[in-house]
Amino acid sequence: ALADGYSIYVPIAGFENNTKTITINATYTSTGVLNKTTFEYGADLLYTYELDIYSVDGAAPVIIDSPSDFTVFEGYTGESLSWTATDAYAGNYTITRDVTTVVTTTNWTSGTPVVYNIPGGLIQGVYEFTINFKDTSLNPTTHSLNMTVLIPDTTDPVITSSPADVVVESGVYPADFSWTATDANPGTYTISRNGTIVVGATSWTSGSPVNYSIEGGLQYIVGVTTYEITFSDFIGNSVSDTVTMTVNPMTPTTTTPPPRIPGFEPLIVIGIFVIGSISLLAWKKKKK
């Protein structure tokens, strides 16, 4: 393709002697298609080309095959990406890694795979590759994917601090649970209660405590509740710890009666009352 969109050929015999200026004017459509060309000799218009009908191509390329996100370890070799697109007027494409262009403007053919060989040496991290297909009318279609580079790691996280099982009486709210784990490549943790996830995948920091508060109301439910935390690192290695909370029924309260006066047991008091009543009746009879 010509950089300026046109070329001029000089006859073998040349133009002979020219006393006037030769001027060539060219205009293009908004999508880069040659619209009009004029060839002038001095003030004389010798040749005109003008696009009579211009059919706008509004259809962007269609990507029919593309790679998905994938993971490799540091030291990888032989990794590549492949895309296939179709368009009646295939143009060019570019490929970027994050914000860096790794393949500059290159022509592509409809239905033919575009293959990019990933260079080695990328360190741990996530890299986004994006391809941008364009047709001759500059309609674009893009596709992106992530390549995750990991450090080879077969070591599980280590839990350095964990809570003990707790036993409480119904109605008594227990203290928070707290765990601490270490790992060179910490990832996420989850917490489950009796097998049901109550804390989804959450990032954790090596050496920093992970605290969990018991849900309100569970302190009244008599029985055993089991909590399990699972620490995972960036690679997927994991370690778990389990702790239980046992809620016992509330202890019934016992009321202690007040102390009695020695010698005044109930039967003795009743006896004294009866004797007193009889004596009173006898005295009243004598008085009559």
Q: What is the dihedral of CA 201, 221, 218, 164, to 10 degrees?
A: -70
> Confidence class of residue 9 from pLDDT cuts 50, 70 and 90?
low
For the stretch 41-79, pLDDT in tens is 888 887 777 765 556 678 999 999 999 999 999 999 999
Shared domain for 167 and 144, answered yes or no, is: no
Shared domain for 165 and 95, answered yes or no, is: no
Asked which of 7-16, 41-50, 234-243 is least confident by mean pLDDT, the reply is 7-16
How far the first Cα of the chain sits from its last, in Å, is: 153
Shared domain for 9 and 81, answered yes or no, is: no
Q: How far apart are CA 15 and CA 84, in angstroms?
A: 49
Whether the pLDDT of residue 288 is over 80: the answer is: no
For the stretch 138-185, pLDDT in tens is 999 999 999 999 888 899 999 999 999 999 998 888 889 999 999 998
> What's the pTM?
0.49
39 or 135, which is more confident? 135
- Give the structural domain span for 230: 158-248
Shared domain for 216 and 240, answered yes or no, is: yes
- What is the number of structural domains in the chain? 3
Does any domain span residue 105?
yes
Which of the listed residues 35, 56, 77 is the one where a domain comes to its end? 56
3-class secondary structure for 200-266?
EEEECCCCCCEEECCCCCHHHCCEEEEEEEEEEECCCCEEEEEEEEEEECCCCCCCCCCCCCCCCCH
Q: How far apart are CA 34 and CA 51, in angstroms?
A: 7
Whether the pLDDT of residue 275 is over 50: the answer is: yes
- The predicted pLDDT at position 280 comes to 56
Does any domain span residue 193?
yes
* CATH code, domain carrying 94: 2.60.40.10
Shared domain for 169 and 243, answered yes or no, is: yes
Q: What is the dihedral of CA 86, 91, 97, 98, to 10 degrees?
A: -100
- The predicted pLDDT at position 1 comes to 45
**What are the structure tokens assigned to 34, written together?**
């040659």
Q: Are 197 and 210 in contact (CB under 8 A)?
A: no
106 or 234, which is more confident? 106
Shared domain for 51 and 70, answered yes or no, is: no
Does any domain span residue 271?
no
- Rounded to an integer, the average pLDDT of 256-261 is 66
- The predicted pLDDT at position 5 comes to 55
Does any domain span residue 278?
no
Does any domain span residue 255?
no
Strand order in the sheet with 80-86: 62-65, 80-86, 114-117
Does any domain span residue 32?
yes
Shared domain for 175 and 114, answered yes or no, is: no
Does any domain span residue 260?
no
How many other C-beta atoms are found inside a 10 Å radius of the C-beta of residue 114?
19
Does any domain span residue 133?
yes
Shared domain for 165 and 244, answered yes or no, is: yes
Task: Report the amino acid identity of residue 159.
Answer: I
Shared domain for 74 and 50, answered yes or no, is: no
Shared domain for 162 and 141, answered yes or no, is: no
